[in-house]
């Protein structure tokens, strides 16, 4: 399973504490895209920076190669989507792993992409 950046961010919030257990149980992969999106936020508090640094230091990363870049380009040509979302979706498709996200609507149009929403009560 590949984690979308939004789940990593939500996992730092006390009101979404269940996500920490979901992440531990799933032993998911992350993308360098998520590291850039999460740690690149300009208003990141020192507490959150430390949490995210520890998270990414312990995470297993899926590399992005040329085939993923080409696939992400194709996804963006089909429909308007952010660069980060296109790279995450293309990575999940390339490695044939589900994409875990709360933003299901951003990805539901992509054929062959298996999406897991841990905020869906049937997943918890």
Helix (H) or strand (E) holding 3: strand 2-3
Percent of the chain with pLDDT over 70: 98
pTM: 0.92
Buried (b) or exposed (e) across 34-44, using 16+ Cβ within 10 A?
Answer: bbebbeeeeee
pLDDT at 92 over 70: yes
Q: Which tens digits make up the pLDDT trace of 25-52? A: 999 999 999 999 999 999 999 999 999 9
Domains of the chain, with CATH numbers? 2-116 (3.40.50.1010)
Pick from 34, 32, 17: nearest CA to 100: 34
Express as a percent the part of the chain with pLDDT over 90: 95
Mean pLDDT over all residues of the chain? 95
Distance CA 67, CA 2 (A): 17
Could you report how far apart the first and last alpha carbons of the chain are, in Å? Answer: 15
């Amino acid at each position: 399973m590949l984690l979308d950046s939004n789940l990593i961010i939500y996992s730092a919030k006390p009101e979404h504490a269940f996500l920490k257990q979901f992440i531990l149980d799933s032993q998911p992969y992350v993308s360098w895209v998520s590291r850039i999106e999460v740690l690149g936020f300009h208003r990141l508090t020192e507490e959150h920076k430390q949490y995210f640094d520890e998270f990414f230091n312990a995470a297993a990363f899926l590399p992005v190669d040329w085939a993923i870049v080409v696939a992400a380009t194709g996804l963006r040509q089909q429909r308007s989507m952010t660069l980060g979302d296109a790279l995450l979706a293309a990575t999940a498709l390339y490695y044939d792993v589900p994409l875990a996200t709360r933003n299901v609507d951003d990805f539901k149009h992509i054929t062959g992409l298996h999406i897991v929403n841990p905020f869906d009560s049937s997943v918890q």
